[in-house]
Amino acid sequence: MKENVSKVNCWDCVHFAISWDQSRRYQCNKLGFKSRNLPSIEVYQADGRQCMSFVRKEAGSKKK
């Protein structure tokens, strides 16, 4: 039986950022790493579970 879990999307997470590093564009400020793939993909491949550090951005909020 499949769990009804919504997929983690880094683009909707408060910890997600774009890095200046051309070879590792995506970064997770919470877990402290950069990668070529979205951090949630790296976490899933390493752990087999969705990212436990995901925190959804509030609607309409932008980082200043």
pTM of the model: 0.77
Instruction: Reduce the DSSP state of residue 40 to 3 states and report it.
Output: helix
How much is the pLDDT for 2?
44
Average pLDDT value for residue range 20-38 = 96
How much is the pLDDT for 8?
87
Q: What is the pLDDT of residues 31-64, one digit of tens each?
A: 999 999 999 999 999 999 999 999 999 876 665 5
How much is the pLDDT for 7?
81
How much is the pLDDT for 6?
56
Residue partners of 34: CB distance under 8 A and separation at least 6: 19, 21, 24, 25, 26, 27, 28
How much is the pLDDT for 5?
46
